[in-house]
Amino acid sequence: MENGIIDVGLKDIIGRVAEVLKVETTGYRVEDACGKGDSFIGGIYKVVIRGIKDKQKVKYEVVVKWIPSLEKRRYFSGAYRREILLYERIAPALLNIQRSKNFVEGLRLKFIKNVLSGENVDNEFLVVHYLNGNYKMMGRQKEPTVEHAALTFKELAKLHGLSFILQNESPMEFRLFQEECSKDIQYADPSLAPKYMRHYYDASVNVIRDPVAKEKLKRLAPDFFHVLHKCTIPADYSCLCHGDCWTNNILFKYNGIGKTGKGKGRHKTVIYFGSHAMVNLAAAGKWAGSTSSVPHSHRIQA
């Protein structure tokens, strides 16, 4: 949303959401749901819809994922389709397993409820319910604690475990998910990647103190997308994984005294079929590298 002007495409999506919710709209408010640098893809809005339903005044809060720029929509089309697959097909399958096996509360994986999605070519979008209550993002500038890291790894373990159960009990359904999630939608075609990705790589290499390692990584720069692509190729014991596990993709629920109570996957989730070991390794680097977490790294690694 630029200069307070709501794009006609976003207005259309809001109208369709109101129809799904069966609300006679009297007004709505749109807010940017992420700041600059908070999301690689962007195009995330919090929408408050007010209206009449069953002769009563109602208010609904939703999150809309839609990119105004046609060029960017085309580039991120695969990511949107992958996320729609998660909410419309994969999540229901995993939730059904939990219900059928009577998982206790602490072992249940929870997903934000999907409201509406669109898969028209070059105009993909996703709408989910907005989480109220004590759920908050930690903030990408804040240092994660060991509690944040531990909760994150617990959520990853739930996803990986449910994936293996689904593979064992519904192999045909799982095979379909596997085929749709095996393609690398981030690094397979370097020509489509944003140019600033190379800038980020160079900046990251420059902070390395070991001169030998730094020189090796600099020589790797022209081919680093191909290396990343190889890391995503499924191997033995692969499963459905979270493809973008960092602080802005996890919502934490805080109790009355400010302590973290539980983690919950946020609405911008890239899911893929690959090595859960690689996911855990990457997440460990993101979550266990802070000064507050280092003394407890043995707990995170365990």
Q: What is the DSSP letter of 130?
A: P
Predicted confidence at residue 29, as pLDDT, reads 94
Q: Highest-confidence range of 60-69, 183-192, 234-243, 277-286, by mean pLDDT?
A: 60-69
Q: What is the pTM of this model?
A: 0.77
CB atoms within 10 A of CB 246: 16
Q: What was the pLDDT predicted at 266?
A: 44
Which three-class secondary structure state does DSSP give residue 248? helix
Which of the listed ranges 91-95, 258-262, 263-267 does the model predict with the highest average pLDDT? 91-95
Residues whose CB is less than 8 angstroms from the CB of residue 9 and which lie 6 or more positions away in sequence, other chains included? 66, 68, 123
What are the residue ranges of helices labelled H in 141-275?
Answer: 146-169, 171-181, 196-206, 211-220, 224-231
Answer positive or negative: Cα dihedral of 271, 275, 276, 282: negative
pLDDT of residue 256: 56
Q: Is the confidence at residue 108, as pLDDT, over 50?
A: yes
Cβ-contact 17, 45 below 8 angstroms? no
So what's the pLDDT on residue 95?
95
Spatial distance between the Cα atoms of 301 and 78, rounded to a whole number of angstroms: 32
Residue with tokens 């002007």: 5
Give the pLDDT score at 259. Answer: 52
Q: Given this model, what pLDDT does residue 3 score?
A: 45
pLDDT digit string, tens, across residues 119-172: 888 889 999 998 876 777 776 677 778 888 888 888 888 999 999 999 999 999
pLDDT digits (tens, 9 = 90+) for 12-46: 999 999 999 999 999 999 998 765 555 556 788 99
Inter-CA distances, 110 with 56, 89, 92, 114, 161, Å:
30, 14, 10, 12, 14
pLDDT of residue 261: 53
Full DSSP string of 49-91: EEEEETTEEEEEEEEEE--S-HHHHHHTHHHHHHHHHIIIIIH
Share of the chain above pLDDT 70, in %: 74
Distances (CA, A) of 41 to 4, 56, 75, 267: 20, 37, 10, 12
List Cβ neighbours of 175 (8 Å cut-off, separation of 6 or more). none
CA distance 12 to 269: 24
Mean pLDDT of the chain: 80
- 3-state class (DSSP) for residue 40: coil
d(C-alpha 149, C-alpha 147), whole Å: 5
The fraction of the chain above a pLDDT of 90, given in percent, is: 36
pLDDT at 192 over 70: no
